[in-house]
């Protein structure tokens, strides 16, 4: 499988590149600057909007570690996803974005997104629930290419060690029987690679949680 990682020199992108290469995937890193790169695969040094249809068509999957995960870094309408949409629609490349917990439903009734809940607005960081929801709604209206968003649970733990135990879930916020909703960063990356392998979800959000 030929995979491209957009934002491969971000903290999240570096972990994705290394784990995908460990799983024997052919990984190309797409970055704006050559700093802080990892991995042994090819590198494309371009701004997202400079990528061509021919370049994108070389890959089975484009993993976007920027558009939702670091949405505050981009002006409205200028996320990599929005800049690449018209080009992706002319390829068979599957778009796999790192989503945000705000895009998950609160419960199985699927009447309310976490983005509309006061709970998620206290998380902070690079997340912007309202902008993520707006971009997600835009993505849903585009009917011309296949996409999947992998959304972390309420807590993406960047400090604890993973145990390699996780489950992929639906578009509803995953909760353990103790009320916890968390996954370590390393297990989240492992869940992403598993989703790459199964390639079952199309045009929807998928969540995951750690089994601890």
pTM over 0.75: yes
Could you tell me which of 41, 44, 20 has the C-alpha nearest to residue 32?
Answer: 44
CB 113 within 8 A of CB 105: yes
Number of domains, the chain: 1
Token digits for 62?
């484009």
Average pLDDT for 49-65: 98
The whole-angstrom separation of Cα 122 and Cα 175 is 18
| pLDDT computed for residue 118 by the predictor | 80
Range of the domain at 62: 2-210
Instruction: Supply the CATH number for residue 32's domain.
Output: 3.40.50.720
**For 169-185, what is each residue's pLDDT tens digit?**
999 999 988 889 999 99
Strand-by-strand arrangement of the 26-31 sheet: 43-45, 26-31, 2-6, 61-64, 94-98, 147-151, 204-210, 166-169
| pLDDT computed for residue 125 by the predictor | 59
């Amino acid at each position: 499988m030929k995979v491209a990682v957009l934002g491969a020199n971000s903290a999240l992108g570096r972990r994705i590149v290394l784990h995908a290469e460990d799983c024997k995937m052919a990984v190309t890193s797409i970055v704006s600057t050559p700093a802080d790169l990892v991995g042994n695969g090819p590198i494309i040094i371009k701004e997202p909007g400079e990528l061509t249809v021919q370049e994108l068509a070389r890959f089975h999957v484009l993993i976007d570690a920027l558009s939702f995960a670091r949405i505050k870094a981009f002006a409205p309408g200028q996320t990599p996803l929005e800049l690449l949409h018209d080009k992706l629609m002319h390829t068979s490349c599957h778009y796999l974005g790192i989503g945000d917990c705000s895009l998950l439903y609160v419960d199985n009734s699927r009447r309310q997104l976490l983005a509309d809940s006061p709970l998620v607005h206290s998380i902070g960081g690079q997340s912007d629930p309202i902008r993520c929801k707006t971009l997600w709604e835009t993505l849903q209206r585009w009917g011309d290419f296949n996409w999947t968003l992998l959304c972390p649970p309420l807590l993406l733990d960047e400090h604890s060690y993973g145990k390699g135990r996780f489950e992929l879930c639906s578009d509803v916020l995953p909760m353990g029987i103790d009320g916890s909703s968390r996954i370590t960063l390393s297990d989240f990356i492992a869940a992403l690679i598993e989703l790459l392998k199964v390639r079952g979800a199309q045009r929807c959000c998928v969540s995951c949680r750690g089994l601890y």
